[in-house]
Amino acid sequence: MILSKLKEAIICLRAGRVTLPYPFAPAPPEEGFRGKLAVEVESCVGCGGCAEVCPPRAIVVHDTSPAWRTVEFFLERCTYCGRCAEVCPEKAITMTREFETATDNPEDLHVRMEIYMGTCQRCGRCFPPPSTFDRIMQPGFRDGDPAKQEAGKEA
């Protein structure tokens, strides 16, 4: 019994250090690491695609007026999955390599953006962003209406 424990201790001591000295000598994360979100307010068009695909619902979109939209990121709920960055058509959301997000101020993990929505020069109403279902009907996809498909074959 003692001999087996001694043999195990010798094996462990021979291996040397197997962990990184993290707080004293931090190493940068590897390429492709998904850390804290970075949002470029100037690039965002307010489509709300990021809020639709966020699993923990950490992104909330509000229409405050006909011409203004508010997008809020609650980063304390973020699971760093990167879905929002994947679906952003303007690449306004990126995943940084920052992972140390501990803070004593909850406002550090809250991003709020006010976005002016593009309006029609004639009527003044906002252009609604295309939904996923609207994009399905774009050319290259099937229409779904058999009457239109038959009419298209005859023409």
Please spell the DSSP secondary structure of 38-50, one letter per residue.
EE-TTT-----HH
pTM for this predicted structure: 0.64
Other beta carbons within 10 angstroms of residue 26's beta carbon come to 10
pLDDT of 135 reads 52
CATH of domain 29-118: 3.30.70.3270
* Per-residue pLDDT tens digits of the chain, which is 155 residues long: 788 999 988 888 887 777 778 878 888 888 889 999 999 988 888 888 999 999 999 999 988 887 788 999 999 999 999 999 999 988 999 999 988 888 899 899 999 999 887 665 566 555 555 555 555 554 444 444 445 445 545 54
b/e 14-25 (16+ beta carbons within 10 angstroms → b): eeeeeeeeeeee
b/e 102-132 (16+ beta carbons within 10 angstroms → b): eeeeeeebebebebebeeeeeeeebeeeeee
Residue ranges of the domains in the chain? 29-118
Which stretch of DSSP H or E encloses residue 63? strand 59-63
pLDDT of 124 reads 57
The answer to whether the CB of 100 falls within 8 A of the CB of 90 is no
